[in-house]
Amino acid sequence: MGVFEILAALITVAALFAWVNHRFIHLPNTIGVMLISLVISLVLVVIGQVRHEFIEPVRSLLESVDFDTTLLHGMLGALLFAGALHLNLNDLMGQRLVVAMLATAGVIISTILVGSAAWLLFGALDFPIDFMHCLLFGALISPTDPIAVGAILRKAGIPSSLYIKITGESLFNDGIGVVLFLGLLGFATGHGASAGHIAELLGLEVAGGIAFGFVIGWIAYLMLRSVDSYEVEILITLAIVTGGYALAHKLHVSGPLAMVVAGLLIGNRGRRLAMSDRTRTRLDEFWELVDEFLNAILFVLIGAEVIVIGFTGDYILAGVVAIPLILASRWISVSLPVMVLRRRRAFSPHVTKILTWAGLRGGISVALALSLPSGPERGLLVALTYFVVLFSILVQGLTVRRFVARLYRTTD
């Protein structure tokens, strides 16, 4: 199938599932779309065990979609920009120390903890995986997903300061996590990487991505200020997301971080000083639609990927055991920064518990797992990642609102 046919099929399926969810199921749109996709995919898998001809066309379609490239170099820039566009910079600056600690030290601590726990788990289950690949699993599963977090937490009813912490962390820590993953991947595959090289890569990509995002955001701001035409101004923001992300990739700086910084600049200074009321309204409506559209397609893909990911009984057992280990690692990785910062500032009640349970994993983790090179470890790590992501979105995502409400009701 050509690109147009694949895109047409995905959009049609996403629209149908979104309608079914809105009309009959009434779950949050992203969760509902993914759940329907997952259920239908599982039905197709069962049918495919008997009649292969029913599932082969679907499997061929999914295998023709390069999931990791589609997300990491296609959807991600637009989704991050859209998320940052609506984040208040003053509120974020008020939480900058917490966000910075969680997005850097928190990700590194979690990577080490998850990697160590996975190494012990795989050893107990007699899976022949070395420690470096366990760290790779830690790096790809540690970042919270801004796509899942933003889509699910908007109506969770948490305090605004805590919402800023969670959203800000998720916008920045995926860039850190991707860079850390790529560095560890070079180390694991023996491509000349070292601990010093990983640290240098992390520093250059992160600092370069932030600086590049500020530069393209400032240029776009000056262009926006010089015109008053919402059509032209929306095109300028689209150019940031497409051209800016592609150029960041060519310059070997973090595209995700560049999109976050550019989105914050346009969404705050640009919105306040360079746009008319009409442009602000049209721009918000446009990017809200883009966000919903890409989320629907992404969560259809996440649900449907079960068709092409191989599961065995041992893999499912490893996934069941890994979930509490990853949650415990998340709790420790947010507790330590919060503990350090409590000496300088106050936190909302139950902040560690909420940061732990609201730390959702999503498409970025699946994309990173699918980008692993072929080898004996890949099948297990992909299946395990998928299992954890499903639990995160379906269980944590569906219960986080009640979880928060119960905590604060208990406090009252």
| 317 plus 225 within the same structural domain | yes
What is the distance between the alpha carbons of residues 109 and 150, in angstroms, rounded to a whole number?
Answer: 23
| 45 plus 75 within the same structural domain | no
pLDDT of amino acid 352: 94
pLDDT of amino acid 67: 81
Domain that holds residue 336: 67-411
- Within 51-130, residue ranges assigned H as helices are 52-64, 67-70, 76-85, 89-94, 96-101, 107-124
| One-character DSSP codes across 187-222 | HHTTSS--HHHHHHHHHHHHHHHHHHHHHHHHHHHH
Residues near 369 by Cβ (< 8 Å), separated by ≥ 6?
A: 140, 381, 382, 385, 386
pLDDT of amino acid 153: 67
- Within 102-194, residue ranges assigned H as helices are 107-124, 131-141, 146-153, 160-188
CA 327, distance to chain mean position in Å, is 17
State which residues of the chain have pLDDT below 50: 412
Q: Please count the residues of the chain.
A: 412
Q: Give 161: exposed, middle or buried? Use CB within 10 Å, 0-12, 13-18, 19+.
A: middle
What is the distance between the alpha carbons of residues 300 and 321, in angstroms, rounded to a whole number?
Answer: 26
pLDDT of amino acid 195: 64
R_g of the chain computed on alpha carbons: 21
pLDDT of amino acid 52: 72
| 80 plus 16 within the same structural domain | no
Residue 148, number of CB atoms within 10 A of its CB: 30
> Nearest 10 degrees: CA dihedral of 406, 324, 354, 111?
180
| 245 plus 273 within the same structural domain | yes
Half-sphere exposure of 45 (CA within 13 A, CB side): 15
What is the distance between the alpha carbons of residues 383 and 395, in angstroms, rounded to a whole number?
Answer: 18
Whole-model pTM: value is 0.89
pLDDT of amino acid 411: 55
Residues near 251 by Cβ (< 8 Å), separated by ≥ 6?
A: 208, 212
End-to-end CA distance of the chain: 57
| 321 plus 196 within the same structural domain | yes
Domain count, the chain: 2
pLDDT of amino acid 219: 97
pLDDT of amino acid 405: 81
Model confidence over 292-313: pLDDT tens digits?
Answer: 898 889 889 888 888 888 778 8
pLDDT of amino acid 192: 55
The domain boundary, picked from 64, 85, 109, lies at 64
| One-character DSSP codes across 134-151 | HHHHHHHHSSPPHHHHHH
| 265 plus 401 within the same structural domain | yes
| 84 plus 183 within the same structural domain | yes
The domain boundary, picked from 34, 64, 94, lies at 64
Return the residue matching tokens 């219960």: 399
| 340 plus 371 within the same structural domain | yes
What is the distance between the alpha carbons of residues 326 and 323, in angstroms, rounded to a whole number?
Answer: 5
Q: Left (φ > 0), alpha (ψ -120 to 50) or beta: where does 240 sit?
A: alpha
